Amino acid sequence: MPGVGVPRIGRLAFRIGNAIGLVAAAFLLRQILVQYFGFALPPFITFYPAIMIVALLTGFWPGLLATTLSALLVAYWISPPMGKWTILSVSDAVNLALFIGTGVLMSGVAERYRRDHARLAAFEQEQELREIRKQLQQISDYQRSLMDALDEGAWQCAKWCTTRPAWPATTAFSK
């Protein structure tokens, strides 16, 4: 079928773009705070919120992408020596490993939250549908009872009308 994969590709592009954009924003925010305001920030501090937002909005895999991109940015642009793919100390390697582990954990927790939230929304919608069906059944039962009563009343009236003696016209409309 033509066009079937287009929405899926669009969602994937949005998810990847979201991850890249938020990581880039976190990196730029960190660089501005350090270079222009002179703050001494831990290397990963602005990336944690970016990873959590990405994972909450778009899921586990984009959160993992954000974690990976953040780790690469920190390893190349923030950790000394800047501009080289070298980790000089064991503590930097441990920090990087802990950051990656925390990013994976945050992405997993956010994905679990998203799935539970979706299940809860589906459950609540199903509950509402059940309540509406129950109300419709009650209305249908009431309507059926009303129609049965009207039907029985019509039969009783027809039976009474056919069995009673006719009234003389002068008696019914006389003064």
Q: Is residue 104 part of a domain?
A: yes
Q: Is the pTM of this model over 0.75?
A: no
Per-residue pLDDT tens digits for 132-159: 999 999 988 888 887 877 777 766 766 6
Which residue type occupies 26?
A: A
Residue-wise pLDDT for 86-121, tens only, equals: 888 999 999 999 999 999 999 999 999 999 999 999
Instruction: Give the whole-angstrom CA distance, residue 154 versus residue 90.
Output: 95
Is 84 a member of any domain? yes
Asked, for residue 146, whether it belongs to a domain, the answer is no
Distance (Å, rounded) from C-alpha 59 to C-alpha 66? 11
Phi-psi region of 3 (alpha: psi -120 to 50; beta: other; left: phi over 0): left
Residue 173 covered by a domain = no
Question: The domain containing residue 66 runs over which residues?
Answer: 7-129
- Tell me the mean pLDDT in the region 72-92: 90
Does residue 159 lie in a domain region?
Answer: no
Say what the pLDDT of residue 65 is. Answer: 98
Number of structural domains the chain divides into? 1
Q: What is the pLDDT of residues 48-63, one digit of tens each?
A: 999 999 999 999 999 9
